[in-house]
Chain A
Amino acid sequence: MSGVGSRRDEEESLLEVRNLCKYFNNDGGLLGGMTFDQEFPFVERNPSKVRAVEDVSFDIKKGETLGLVGESGCGKSTLARTVLRLLEPSSGSVYFKGEDLATISGEPLRRKRQDMQMIFQDPQSSLDPRMKVGPIVEEPMEAHGMLDEEGREARAKELLEKVGLDPQHYNRYPHAFSGGQRQRVNLARALSVNPYFIVCDEPVSALDVSIQAQVLNTMQDLQDEFDLTYLFIAHDLSVIRHISDRVAVMYLGQMVELADKEELFENPQHPYTQALLDAIPVPDPRSEGRTALLTGDVPSPIDPPSGCRFRTRCPVLIQPDEFDMSDAEWSDVIEFQRAVKRREFETTDRREIQQQYFDSIPTGDAGTLVEDALSHIADEEWKDAEALLTTSFADASVCATDNPAYEVPSEHGDSRHYAACHRVRESAVATGAAADLDAPVGDAVGEVGAND
């Protein structure tokens, strides 16, 4: 990547995403959305929504690469497809060069697609096995009425060469190419219509390390040559660190942190980003290895946690104001609450549980609540114990009641650092959604609102 860093702020945004949401209904099919019960009324129909992407806002500047990371199922690909209008957004806007893509449709939208292309993850299934690579590369040009037949062929050959293939291969079928070469054909196809913006959805994750490096290098060279803007999705943080200018981290359909690459990797503010970075294995036997791993699974996007969605797994959940426990006591309590919720232990013996989860039972109100929960467990009333602990501790935290959205000062690079975590509220220079971070620093935009 050339030094985009210093110029970036003066450059205009190519793409502005504002409060974008994408919900899926899960009431399709005969029995969709039905719940069955042993008691009356036995069958109930309450269709729910899978909130795959919720309230996401960000900008992509011209010529930059925005990396998008997150665990599988966190909504990265859905976000990318919604941005390109391959999926209909449920609400929100996507401004591409100033025009809201969410409101146009039909022919104007089809024409717009010339400016935005996509490269898919699987190089095998994204190329038609019955078409030769030449016509594959020409097809988008034909769809957009570019050039005449001879012109298209010449351009296809030129592009094949540009992406590092032999133009002689124009008449070969995709099966004759290796995975890395097929991904190059995909690149050539995306480039054929002279796009401004390319969404790359895990373009190298199906490739071997050595081939991956070749394709990444080619992508960077092409970006410099054609002044392309990439939205680069990957779950591999090493690749993201290599190719991105700025990085966005997603968790369960929401953006939790967005900052300059150096800033995000060297000075991460959100506990999820920190956990993700700690979890990356380093190719070095002398490195310290991974530290404190996240426990539990990602919650369901059908009924995501209120407030900060990461709070059910967050190692540094904020203590509710009404308690006055030490940090160690608080973390014991919250660990115990999660263990009960996940039914991690089976014993109902009070002393054994106490020994496993508590150094000492906290004093005061908190202690009474924990004692009550222990009595519930002793009586095998797990649900009551869970409810008691969850409502009085986990759900009382500011993390559960307020939606976090802050901007913190950057230590590296000159772009803004957005972090959706209440722990940074003290050092924050602005509050508000990531979208409003475009407002001048220090200009607090709106209150940190409670959940809508």
Chain B
Amino acid sequence: MLSEEEMRKQIRGREIAIIFQDPMESLNPVFTVGGQLREFIEINRDLSEEEAKEEAIEMLREVGIPAPESRYDEYPHQFSGGMRQRVLIAMALACQPDLIIADEPTTALDVTVEGQILEMVTDLQEKYETSFIWVTHDMSVVAEICDRVNVMYLGEIIEHAEVDDLFYETKHPYTQALLDSMPRPDRTVHELNPIKGVMPEAIDPPSGCRFHSRCPHAREVCREVHPEPRNLAEDGERPHSAACVMYDAFEVGYEESRPIETEASGGFSAGLTETGDGE
């Protein structure tokens, strides 16, 4: 177990870096963009100020900022949102970490800019062989750049699969409901099927499977048994795990169990009465 100081000196920045969601709030408005990038490189890579500045300009060029020598001395407000996010990516990549955690880095950006950034990240990832944990709620981004996906609900990972399997061999009812609730840009969807109800408070999560209160397939047993994700793939197939007792692998008697009324099946309405219910 590393101490806080060891963590700060050896790991953060050098081995694991992070890119935050809001590019305006993650840069200090009173320092120049170049200065912030240089400082980061100087501290983490033990370079002199001169060397670090050179490296910083090189990184700015790498992430596609035009005329990096002159932009080096500009302040964050002189950069557009996409440009700022590029600076943060430059910062994360500057020490060539093995892992970068990207926390919704494109959520605040327009689709056109988002496309540019994702394209650049994919190229740089190949070049530097960096691993990414990409945190997002946008399934389109997941489909575009991820290799494997973990789906979380109320603090737990409930499904894990390769990206193609997740979209085409969806196992967990929550993942399915999430996919069904999205409007599509490539075709006209006449009826959206939102997940019924609201996410329960994490202070007092539902017993058993945490999704059972909103699940269309919920039965008595879901309320009692708390499933851990299990690999449901056949031997020789790509691993695909899900935490749902609906599958035989769990052997808890789902088939024999009595269906229960949930928000999704239409009985119980905890404060939120859907007007469009009964579709």
Contact = CB atoms under 8 A, between A and B. Distances in A.
Interface of A: 1, 71-72, 161-166, 168-169, 178, 180-181, 208-214, 216-218, 220-222, 235, 237-239, 241-243, 261-262, 265, 275-277, 279-287, 289-290, 293-295, 297, 342-344
B102 to A, nearest CB: 15
B207 interface: no
A297 B80 contact: yes
Most buried by A among B177, B181, B190: B181
A218 B185 contact: no
Contacts of B274: 164, 214, 217-218
B273 A277 contact: no
B183 A166 contact: no
A225 to B, nearest CB: 9
Contact of A293 (B119, B144, B182, B190): B119
A166 B272 contact: yes
A209 B178 contact: yes
Contacts of B127: none
Contacts of B234: none
A213 B192 contact: yes
A210 B177 contact: yes
B111 A210 contact: no
B143 interface: yes
A285 B167 contact: yes
Contacts of B271: 165-166, 168-169
A218 B115 CA distance: 31
Given A279-B111, A281-B111, A285-B164, A217 B276 contact: yes
A216 B143 contact: no
Contacts of A169: 271
A233 to B, nearest CB: 14
A4 B188 CA distance: 15
Q: Shortest 9 CB-CB distances between A and B: which pairs? A: A281-B140, A213-B194, A242-B183, A210-B195, A213-B181, A214-B194, A283-B139, A213-B192, A238-B183
A275 B189 CA distance: 22
Interface of B: 66-67, 80-82, 110-116, 118-119, 137-144, 163-164, 166-168, 177-179, 181-186, 188-190, 192-195, 198, 271-276
Contacts of A262: 188
B181 A209 contact: yes
12 contacts: A164-B276, A210-B178, A213-B192, A214-B195, A217-B194, A221-B276, A239-B183, A242-B183, A242-B189, A279-B114, A283-B167, A285-B143
Contacts of B141: 281
Contact of A282 (B163, B177, B184): B184
Contact of B185 (A163, A280, A293): A280
Contact of B66 (A71, A72, A165, A344): A344
A171 to B, nearest CB: 14
A344 B66 CA distance: 6
A283 B143 contact: yes
A286 B194 CA distance: 24
A245 B118 CA distance: 31
Most buried by A among B115, B141, B167, B168: B115
Given A164-B275, A165-B272, A282-B140, 18 more contacts: A72-B81, A169-B271, A210-B177, A210-B194, A213-B193, A214-B194, A217-B194, A218-B275, A238-B183, A241-B188, A243-B183, A280-B185, A281-B144, A283-B167, A283-B179, A290-B144, A297-B82, A344-B66
A241 B178 contact: no
A138 B177 CA distance: 36
B10 to A, nearest CB: 36
B163 to A, nearest CB: 5
A169 B166 CA distance: 39
A160 B168 CA distance: 39
Contact of B163 (A161, A285, A297): A285
A67 to B, nearest CB: 12
A266 to B, nearest CB: 9
Contact of B112 (A163, A221, A276, A343): A276
Given A71-B110, A241-B184, A285-B163, A293 B143 contact: no
B140 A210 contact: no
Contact of A237 (B144, B185, B275): B185
A276 B273 contact: no
A166 B184 contact: no
A168 B185 CA distance: 38
Contacts of A297: 80, 82
A376 to B, nearest CB: 18
Most buried by B among A164, A180, A181: A164
Nearest to B272: A164
Given A181-B272, A241-B183, A281 B110 contact: no
Contacts of B113: 71
Contacts of B80: 297
Contacts of A295: 116
Contacts of B272: 164-166, 181
A1 B188 CA distance: 12
A230 to B, nearest CB: 15
Nearest to B138: A281
B194 A293 contact: no
Nearest to B144: A281
A137 to B, nearest CB: 16
Nearest to B140: A281
B273 A164 contact: yes
A211 B137 CA distance: 12
Contact of A71 (B112, B142, B190): B112
Contact of A217 (B115, B186, B192): B192
A412 B140 CA distance: 27
A71 B112 CA distance: 8
B58 to A, nearest CB: 13
Contacts of B138: 281
B164 A213 contact: no
